[in-house]
Amino acid sequence: MNAKASSKTTSPRGAAGAAKRPPRPRAAQSHEIRIIGGLWKRTKLKVADKPGLRPTPDRVRETVFNWLGQDMTGLRCLDAFAGTGALGFEAASRGAKQVTLIEQDTALIDQLKKTQSQLNAGMVLVQRGDGIAAIRQAAPASLDVIFIDPPFDAPLFEPALGACAHALATGGWVYLESPAAYTDEALSAYGLRVYRHLKAGAVHAHLLQALVAP
């Protein structure tokens, strides 16, 4: 019995030895989102693992495009903070005439271009730039849908909303995704009002429209 005990304590493969092994480096992670409707329905798209990247959840996207009427044939859209491109590619899948995706992060730009190529999405234009500047520089009344979904911890919501009024076509829409609900009172300063609102977890999804002049 003593010999067996001695054998165990001198083994180089004991628990203490295992604990000293250096941790394996964290592998790069990725996940997927799926397009919910239209031409590319059920198509899965790769999403890069980037801190703070927050694709619009499937349930929320489905609701938003139900609000917009499912068929977006002929509409001109701007996704001002594209990120994964989930909103813009969903709009293109449903028939949008033109979808411009604006993003600043180089890695995300590369992924958006890969997705554009994968889908052969000729109606989608990927541009590196500032989302607020892109809205401000849009021609008057040139956009039917503006998607505003910036990082939740960035002070971009109010400037983006303030830039929308001149760019929206008659009858156009603004989709706003934020960590808090916006009221008609707060939005009136930007010439907008709430048409629909949904809370899903930490996300508040709003569909906004221009105020009608009295």
Q: Which string of DSSP letters, residue by residue, matches 112-171?
A: HHHHHHHHT-TTEEEEES-HHHHHHHSPTT-EEEEEE---TTSTTHHHHHHTHHHHEEEE
Quick one: pLDDT at residue 21? 53
Q: Quick one: which of 201, 162, 167, 196 has its CA closest to 59? A: 201
pLDDT computed for residue 57 by the predictor: 81
pLDDT value for 33 = 82
pLDDT at position 20, please?
52
Q: Note the helical H segments in the chain.
A: 2-9, 15-19, 58-67, 86-93, 106-119, 131-137, 157-162, 164-167, 184-187
Give the H/E segment covering residue 208.
strand 203-210
Structural domain 25-210, CATH architecture: 3-Layer(aba) Sandwich (3.40)
User: b/e for 28-46, b at 16 or more Cβ within 10 A?
Assistant: eeeeebebbbbebeebebe
At 93, list the tokens: 């899948």
Provide CB contacts within 8 A for 113, sequence distance 6+. 126
Q: Which pLDDT score, from 0 to 100, does residue 4 have? A: 42
- Amino acid 8: pLDDT: 41
- Check: CB of residue 55 under 8 Å from CB of residue 115: no
Domain extent listing, the chain: 25-210
Q: What is the pLDDT of residue 55?
A: 76
What pLDDT is stored for residue 145 in this prediction? 98
3-state secondary structure of 15: helix
Task: Tell me phi and psi for residue 73, to 5 degrees.
Answer: -55, 125
> Which positions ≥6 away from 153 have C-beta within 8 Å?
52
**pLDDT, tens digit (0-9, with 9 covering 90-100), for 168-198:** 999 999 999 999 999 999 999 999 999 999 9
User: How many CB atoms sit inside 10 A of residue 142's CB?
Assistant: 14
Query: Which regions in the chain score pLDDT beneath 70?
Result: 1-30, 48-53, 213-214
Count Cβ neighbours within 10 Å for each residue of 150-183 and write b for 16 or more, e otherwise.
beeeeebbeebbbbbeebbbeebbbbbbbeeebe
